[in-house]
Amino acid sequence: MLSQIVRPLVHTQIRLLANTRATRSTLIATIARWLGYLGVQAVVTHLSAESDEIQVSLTVGKPDSCDATDWQQIISHLQQDSSKTQNGLPTYLEITSQQRSKLQRLLAYIIQVGTPDNLVDWETLYPQLQALELDEPMILGIRAALKVPQSLDRLVEGIDPDLAAIALPFAVSIAWMDRRVNSHENRAISALFEAMK
């Protein structure tokens, strides 16, 4: 599973960074290497420590697996609508009501499979969903969808790649709330990733 593979690697890298005297150059090399594993060529252009955070700026080239036409479209879209979204992620606020319903059911599915015995503690979950910057109607739709068992196969069948791209970061955030990704959550995240292609 993803968490079982990645967590030991992250721990190893943290120990390496904590024990090296060349922390800056090691961190820069680590960032470039990890993105390189994903086929992304990245150069760190700025790195600084502010308060208890590390700020990093990157220049990213076309990923190996990215089609030249797709890459040019991404660049073009970023140049045209850089003012539309603050964080660069797609927004769920612009989707149709049908897509919105499917997104609510997808996120409800992630919550259901990540909760032992399907016992969702709404009082705990509600502020966590708010922290993901989901609006009240979306959260209430997720709550309603939690009352019905969801089917991943039906939810991802014929899903629009744009909707999958919108759902994926939310799905990862929800799955990671308990700092574990179980096999059902991993399958859903993988299905959304595949649907984006």
Q: Is 181 in the same domain as 99?
A: yes
pLDDT per position as a tens digit, 121-169:
899 999 999 988 888 999 999 999 999 888 899 999 989 888 888 888 8
Query: Is residue 70 in some structural domain?
Result: no
Farthest CA pair distance, the chain:
54
Task: State the pLDDT at residue 86.
Answer: 45
58: β partners = 44
Task: State the pLDDT at residue 9.
Answer: 67
- Phi and psi, residue 66, nearest 5°: -90, 130
Query: Is residue 71 in some structural domain?
Result: no
Q: Is 115 in the same domain as 45?
A: no
Q: Is 35 in the same domain as 116?
A: no
Helix or strand or coil: residue 48? strand
Closest by alpha carbon to 57, among 71, 68, 43?
43
* Boundaries of domain holding 128: 92-196
Query: Is residue 68 in some structural domain?
Result: no
Residues of the chain scoring pLDDT < 70? 1-9, 81-92, 118
Structural domain count of the chain: 2
50: β partners = 53
Angle at 100 between CA 95 and CA 101, to 5 degrees: 155
